[in-house]
Chain A
Amino acid sequence: DQQVKQNSPSLSVQEGRISILNCDYTNSMFDYFLWYKKYPAEGPTFLISISSIKDKNEDGRFTVFLNKSAKHLSLHIVPSQPGDSAVYFCAAVTQGGSEKLVFGKGTKLTVNP
């Protein structure tokens, strides 16, 4: 049973436009959420995170929004750049335990020049 779901396997956007990647979760015990970016043959790289007590966190071109009542989060990238082309994973964690990350299946973002 997938506790973290990324329902879009792929997304294609034009350079300079906004990319919106979505993630849904089912476990209400999750209290911290992270986005990772992965290039082929490399490990996931941490991008941005958000605590469940917040609804928005911004870091440069990247903003993560959290809607706890809907159990939904999204990652906004604006403006999108060709170098942003990668697979993006949403992950969730319940703090106070082993802090293991529960990942979605990922969304492959392609930013076209």
Chain B
Amino acid sequence: GAGVSQTPSNKVTEKGKYVELRCDPISGHTALYWYRQSLGQGPEFLIYFQGTGAADDSGLPNDRFFAVRPEGSVSTLKIQRTERGDSAVYLCASSLTGVGNQPQHFGDGTRLSIL
């Protein structure tokens, strides 16, 4: 398909472990976003990439969270020393150039459960 692809769809791991979540944006989209959605809440912004660079990482909750996009397409969100409070659905979105009036297209998310 031509949409945003996220893998894995589900991830269950133990507290303290390291996890990587992958996002494959729509081909040609230079802007890529990560959001986190907790139960009963709307998605909350984590980080924004324009090309290879993180243009805004103000939403990352702490230094256990890190994201990369080395070639300007696929992005990986990395969480170290996971905690139970990290359990949520992690959503990735992309848009053509990142201009505000271009809608962001979302993947189906990775449901992360920390035991």
Contacts and interface: CB of A to CB of B under 8 A. Distances in A.
A45 to B, nearest CB: 7
In this complex, the member of A31, A32, A44 whose beta carbon has the largest number of chain B beta carbons within 10 angstroms is A44
Interface in B37-51: 40-45, 48
Interface string B67-84: 000000000000000000
B95 A100 contact: no
Nearest to A6: B42
Interface of B: 4, 6, 31, 33, 35, 40-45, 48, 55-56, 58-59, 91, 93, 95, 98-101, 103-109
Interface of A: 4, 31-32, 34, 36, 41-46, 49, 51, 89, 91, 93-106
A42 B108 CA distance: 4
Given A89-B43, A104-B42, A106-B42, A96 B100 contact: yes
11 contacts: A43-B93, A43-B106, A43-B108, A46-B103, A89-B42, A95-B101, A99-B100, A99-B104, A100-B33, A100-B59, A101-B33
